[in-house]
């Protein structure tokens, strides 16, 4: 009987999640059909979905394994450039590589977008496996500095003259195929998020969490600390590379400046704000930060009241307001919006029951 009840609960929760996905697809399809009217909203949603993928991939290594890595921008650059190089239409390449030409081997190298995204992830994972051998022996701040340095090295190499025939150097890449619709972006992001959730909830994910909680205890139960850290770093980098490819598709043109250190800080902000070690926190944080910056954009426009211009309303004031809001959120939610917990059907049911019990108690007290 208990097994049947458990299966029923799983089936009910699965049906609810599927219903949420279907409703999301319907809403996005409606927005796509009215693209000219809702183009701005579509742009915010697509960027939020891309950042959600990268934030969750960063959370794998930072939140679930306890490694403080700041190399996300570098791995995103590897994934983005790999995806872009392999998907730019052959007819457009002379206009892209107009200064120094393109490497003959890449002149006609075109693959389908899903394959390019996977290859971008694999390139990022390969670099992560190589640099992980020396840097994962470092701890805390030293690991952060080492990975941050790697990110800047990647950016410098991409923009260097010796890479002109591959990355187009400092001129960057354009004519990158974009998403055919927001539903396509949602599908790619959903697949990545589901795969990461499965990994986090697997025995491998439990090994990640064990290392985060106590390395000595993890070692005592037979977990190979270095190999598990390396695996976490590689898995995180793979999905970060895929996220970089999705960002290239969203932007349709990229250069080395796209992947500056500030990009890593933006992703870290999403992870911390959503909740370190929270899957749904990364997703909520991505939408909160991306949409928040855009909603407050009117603060950058001059404001005239009764013929008098308000001096504070000028370019850059939006980020001041956004920073103040972030400080307020952090003060009230010191562990992030979800505080390491998950926004789930089960959690919402518990919260609802708790509220009902509180209302009953208050009614009895009166």
Q: How confident is the model at residue 294, as a pLDDT?
A: 83
| Beta-bridge partner residues of 303 | 310
Check whether 138 has a pLDDT greater than 60.
Answer: yes
Q: Is residue 21 part of a domain?
A: no
Q: Which of 38-47, 53-62, 175-184, 324-333 has the lowest mean pLDDT?
A: 324-333
Helix (H, G, I), strand (E, B) or coil at 181: coil
Model confidence pTM above 0.85:
yes
**Distance of alpha carbon 284 from its chain centroid, rounded?**
11
Q: What is the mean pLDDT of residues 278-302?
A: 84
Q: Show the 3-state SS of 96-165.
A: HCCCCCCCHHHCCCCCCHHHHHHHHHHHHHHHHHHHHHHHCCCCHHHHHHHHHHHHHHHHHHHHCHHHHH
Query: Does 143 fall in a domain?
Result: yes
What pLDDT sits at residue 277?
87
pLDDT number for residue 352: 55
Q: Which two tokens stand for residue 89?
A: 């239409």
Decide if 84 contacts 176 (C-beta within 8 A).
yes
CB 336 within 8 A of CB 272: yes
Local structure of residue 260 (DSSP, 8 states):
S
- For residue range 225-256, list pLDDT tens digits in order: 999 999 999 999 999 999 999 999 999 999 99
CB 281 within 8 A of CB 338: yes
Q: What is the pLDDT of residue 203?
A: 92
Least confident of 14-28, 139-153, 328-342: 328-342
Number of domains into which the chain is organized: 1
Instruction: Please tell me the predicted confidence (pLDDT) of residue 353.
Output: 61
Domain region containing 92: 34-365
Nearest to 175 by CA among 251, 82, 247: 251
63 has a pLDDT exceeding 80: yes
Beta bridge partners of 310: 303
Dihedral sign from CA coordinates of 52, 54, 59, 62: negative
Q: Does 299 map to a domain?
A: yes
The 10s digit of each residue's pLDDT in 20-60 is: 889 999 999 999 999 888 999 999 999 999 999 999 999 99
In degrees and rounded to multiples of 5, residue 315 shows phi and psi of -50, 130
pLDDT of residue 6: 47
The CATH number of the domain holding residue 44 is 1.10.3470
Highest mean pLDDT among 243-252, 304-313, 349-358: 243-252
């Amino acid at each position: 009987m208990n097994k049947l009840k458990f299966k029923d609960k799983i089936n009910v929760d699965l049906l609810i999640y599927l219903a949420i996905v279907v409703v999301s697809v319907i809403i996005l399809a409606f927005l796509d059909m009215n693209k000219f009217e809702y183009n701005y909203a579509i742009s915010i949603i697509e960027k939020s979905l891309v950042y959600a993928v990268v934030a969750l991939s960063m959370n794998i290594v930072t939140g679930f394994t306890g490694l403080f890595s700041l190399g996300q921008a570098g791995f995103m650059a590897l994934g983005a450039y790999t995806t872009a190089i392999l998907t730019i239409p052959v007819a457009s390449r002379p206009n892209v590589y107009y200064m120094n030409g393109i490497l003959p081997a890449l002149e006609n190298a075109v693959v389908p977008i899903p394959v390019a995204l996977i290859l971008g992830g694999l390139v990022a994972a390969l670099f992560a496996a190589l640099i992980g051998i020396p840097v994962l022996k470092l701890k805390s701040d030293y690991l952060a500095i080492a990975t941050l340095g790697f990110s800047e090295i990647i950016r410098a190499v991409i923009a260097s003259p010796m890479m002109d025939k591959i990355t187009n150097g400092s001129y960057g890449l354009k004519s990158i195929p974009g998403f055919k619709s927001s539903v396509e972006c949602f599908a790619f992001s959903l697949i990545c998020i589901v795969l990461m959730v499965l990994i986090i909830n697997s025995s491998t994910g439990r090994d990640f969490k064990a290392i985060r909680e106590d390395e000595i205890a993890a070692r005592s139960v037979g977990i190979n600390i270095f190999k598990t850290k390396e695996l976490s770093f590689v898995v995180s980098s793979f999905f970060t590379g895929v996220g970089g490819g999705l960002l290239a598709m969203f932007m349709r043109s990229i250069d080395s400046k796209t992947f500056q250190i500030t990009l890593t800080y933006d992703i870290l902000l999403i992870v911390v704000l959503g909740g370190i070690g929270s899957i749904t926190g990364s997703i909520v944080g991505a939408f909160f930060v991306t949409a928040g910056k855009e909603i407050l954009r009117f603060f950058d426009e001059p404001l005239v009241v009764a013929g008098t211009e308000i001096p504070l309303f000028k370019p850059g004031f939006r980020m001041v307001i956004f920073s103040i809001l972030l400080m307020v959120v952090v003060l009230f939610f010191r562990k992030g919006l979800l505080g390491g917990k998950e926004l789930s059907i089960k959690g919402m049911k518990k919260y609802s029951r708790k509220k009902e019990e509180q209302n009953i108690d208050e009614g009895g007290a009166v």
